[in-house]
Amino acid sequence: MNKKLGILGGMGPLATVEFMLKIISQTPAHNDQEHIPMVVSSVPQIPDRTAFIMGHGEDPYPELKHSFDQLEQSGAECIVIPCNTAHYWYPQLSATSHVHTISIIDSVVQETQIRKHKTVGLLATTATMKAKMYQQKLSQYDIDVIETNDMQQQAVMQGIYEVKAGNIEKGKALMLPVFKDMLSQGAEAVILGCTEIPVALAEQNLQSPHHCLDSLEILAKYCVEWSYETEPAAIAS
């Protein structure tokens, strides 16, 4: 207990705060002293991850690396990134890390296996979809992925940016029909694979958690387990 968790956040700020709330809510603490100490680097000015992966915009890696190093220097014993798209750079960051790291992508894939899903839907940024970060790992376990069509993906991206702008209800209105369509296509659950999506679809996650693979909630779960020294080795780097 009381191992210090480092959070490389700010992508976006609301998702970072929501992630911290999920950690606190899942921690079996009875008083202040039993909660997990966290040090947070929330830098919203990190360049847009999707823009760069899609072929335009500034490379965010230098800023990600700078924040990562600052967290190490602050005494973090484990560093996590509550941003799915930023995991495009996770192999580089974790390869040079001097501390433990936990991947949000690997955590969700692990949870999908635990739940014994064979078909899942995927809601994520266009960059995450293009980079195939989830699809490649899920295919290793013969898990089929239902992806968005072009029109649906446009709605998802618009919804993500609405949440980043604080317009949560607008974000929900754009993404909820896509979520429901994936279930109607046969998805046993839908990966909420961008950390703004669980914010917009919080009601759906509460009402039917078996249909949601909330990447924020799952990463928070494994962070708590790491703190209590029961984090599965499969998701550690």
| Token representation of residue 131 | 């980079």
Helix ranges, the chain (H)? 13-26, 49-53, 61-73, 90-95, 104-114, 126-131, 133-139, 150-164, 168-184, 197-200, 202-207, 215-227
Which residues, listed in sequence order, are joined to residue 145 by a DSSP beta bridge?
Answer: 120
In whole angstroms, what separates CA 68 from the centre of its chain? 17
Rg (alpha carbons) of the chain, rounded to whole number:
17
- Using CA atoms, how far residue 186 sits from 116, 207, 211, in Å, is 15, 19, 11
From the number of C-beta atoms within 10 Å of its C-beta (0-12, 13-18, 19+), residue 185 rates as exposed
Q: Which residue has the tokens 């993404």?
A: 175
C-alpha–C-alpha distance, residues 79 and 100, integer Å: 7
Q: Determine whether 223 is an active site residue.
A: no
Q: Which of 78, 83, 212, 223 is catalytic?
A: 83
DSSP letter for each residue of 51-77 = HHHTT-S---HHHHHHHHHHHHHTT-S
Which residues, listed in sequence order, are joined to residue 123 by a DSSP beta bridge?
Answer: 192
Q: Determine whether 83 is an active site residue.
A: yes
Q: Which of 78, 194, 212, 223 is catalytic?
A: 194
Instruction: State the catalytic residues.
Output: 83, 194
